Amino acid sequence: MEIAGNRASESPPHLCPRPPTLASSPLHFIDTDRVIGGHCHCELSARLCQLPGLPVFCNMDMAIQGVENEAFGFLVKQGAEARVFKSTFVGRLSIVKERFSKKYRHPLLDSKLTVKRLNMEVRCMTKARRLGVPTPVLYAVDPILHTLTFEYVDGLSVKEILLDFGLNGIVEEQLNDIAIQIGTAMGKMHDGGLIHGDLTTSNMIIRGETNHLVLIDFGLSFTSTIPEDKAVDLYVLERALLSMHSSCGNVMMYMLVVLPVQMEKILSAYRKSSKQWSSTMNKLAQVRQRGRKRTMVG
């Protein structure tokens, strides 16, 4: 009874998990495939859990938001699946993409799904590079923090370049060159059985020093040789270009000149680059038809 009384008088242990840090997580380097581990502990989590007013099962992601930003770098963008930070890696500018956990999922299931999706993104990104598709150089993969660290590409997205149309005036030759690069990259990717899954103008960057195209964000990518999957990939890009008309400086010029010409140049370059373009183009016509019906019906 005395032992039980002593136990009852003690304060219950806090059940908050210690948040991962860059120092305490193993880092998988692509070139060596070795794990560099550390055992440094983060004292901040314990202090946060001891603060009055915080629940026992506190949300550590929210509690240490500022610390995470300091650990990964400057927060550039946050989407539904991941956060993107601008950081440095071995003295080089880099991008850190963190896939954060979903609180509505069971922790074990969430971790398993997140790691699986992380691995798929790495495989697709690496495969695209092997196929000759320009992608950022992948520096490191951290399966504990669920992060990818890769090269920082200095340049403007294709979306930003198109948004300048009619405002600052962009050279037509530059647009034609971009369209050809897009079509060529997509042809190589599809012939290799790789589907990007999110081919929007925001996921295409033009390097400032070379004007070369770089495809980014393979978070929705998968492998497939089905012509319809390739056609849907092309259709997503076509709809992305079409949806930009309301944001461009010269709407009529964009709709009547830029969009039709650039899309035709993309498809023309795609035909030259892809050996399987015929079946994909046939499916693209069907996908367009379904898209129009869906738009009319709502």
Cα–Cα distance for residue pair 241/231, rounded to 1 Å: 15
**In the 3-class helix/strand/coil scheme, how is 257-289 assigned residue by residue?**
HHHHHHHHHHHHHHHHHCCCHHHHHHHHHHHHH
**Does residue 202 have a pLDDT over 70?**
yes
Residue 127: per-residue pLDDT:
98
| Mean pLDDT score of the chain | 78
* Cross-sheet strand order for the sheet of 27-29: 35-36, 27-29, 138-142, 147-151, 92-99, 82-89, 74-78
* Cross-sheet strand order for the sheet of 213-215: 155-157, 204-207, 213-215
Residue 247: per-residue pLDDT:
59
Nearest of 263, 288, 273, 291 to residue 158 by alpha carbon:
263
Residue 72: per-residue pLDDT:
84
The reply to whether 198 belongs to the active site is yes
Residue 169: per-residue pLDDT:
57
Encode pLDDT of 160-172 as tens digits: 888 776 555 567 7
230, 271 contact by CB (below 8 A): no
pTM: 0.73
Residue 170: per-residue pLDDT:
62
Mean pLDDT of 7-25: 44
| Helices marked H in 139-224 | 158-163, 172-191
**Count of Cβ atoms closer than 10 Å to residue 10 Cβ:** 8
Catalytic residue among 142, 198, 217, 229: 198
Name the residue with higher pLDDT: 31 or 281.
Answer: 281
Encode pLDDT of 221-261 as tens digits: 999 999 999 999 999 999 988 877 555 655 556 665 667 88
Encode pLDDT of 83-107 as tens digits: 999 999 999 999 999 999 988 999 9
